[in-house]
Amino acid sequence: MRDAWILTTDADLAGDTAAAVQELGFTPRRASSNGAGRPRADDGGAERLPGVVIVVAAPGEPVPAQVCEQLREQEGLDAVPVLLALGEEHLRAVPDATIVHELIVRPYTAAELGTRIQRARAKLGGADPDEAVRIGTLELNFATYQVTIAERPVDFTYMEYELLKFLLTNPRRVFSREALLSAVWGYDYYGGARTVDVHIRRVRAKLGQEHASRVKTVRGVGYRFEG
């Protein structure tokens, strides 16, 4: 089995992540960084490179951006996918999504984590024109930014595509309008929460009768995607 390094200060989250990666066939190993030195496995097994590194941001703590940067720059880890697992409260504070290969929002299933690891590996190997996610007749191609329904292309604007992609790749999770603004448009976007509602209406209209109902409204909270 390949190792999965798990870096977090939260013991409960470390245990949950360990269980998920073990289900995926990895051997979980706690790793750490003192903030200045290079991240490493706690048992000192430096000769054995991991198959994946998962950095888990603990509740109430800032996003560990420095650790992520150290991992991306560490010799020997350049071919290892690095994932950052966040709580919704961290979405506004991610300084730059490119500090890792993939972001994933807690809570998540082992299956979803496995999909993100595969996507991260594909990015390391270069853009794959066949990399896509499919739900029924709906397909999003991550390399070409194209949406097709029943193999027929549907014209989405860039932000409509990004909104649909974010919801679709975080299925069954409810996001507030503010969280969607931060994650999709960026923290400083001036349009306000109404922008999200407008784009949701446009996305539903373009998804058509077969798929529009997958984008659910959670009254008083926000939106979620049902796969």
Q: For the segment 133-159, what is each residue's pLDDT rounded down to a tens digit? A: 888 899 998 777 789 999 899 999 888
Does pLDDT of 129 surpass 50?
no
Q: What is the pTM of this model?
A: 0.58
Buried b (16+ CB within 10 A) or exposed e, 124-134: eeeeeeebebe
What is the arithmetic mean of pLDDT over 168-184? 84
Tell me the domain boundaries of the chain. Answer: 1-126, 128-227
* pLDDT for 127: 46
Whether 20 has a pLDDT exceeding 80, the answer reads yes
- Residue 1 pLDDT class (50, 70, 90 cuts): low
* Share of residues in the chain with pLDDT > 70 (%): 85
**Average pLDDT for 127-137:** 69
Contact between residue 85 and residue 48 where contact means Cβ atoms under 8 Å apart: no
Find the angle CA(47)-CA(49)-CA(51) to the nearest 5 degrees: 160
pLDDT band with cut points at 50, 70 and 90 for residue 189: low
| Superfamily the domain 1-126 falls into | Response regulator (3.40.50.2300)
216 membership: H or E segment, kind and range: strand 215-218
Question: Is 97's pLDDT higher than 80?
Answer: no
Q: What's the confidence (pLDDT) of residue 115?
A: 81
Q: Cα 16 to chain center, whole Å?
A: 17
CATH topology of domain 128-227: Arc Repressor Mutant, subunit A (1.10.10)
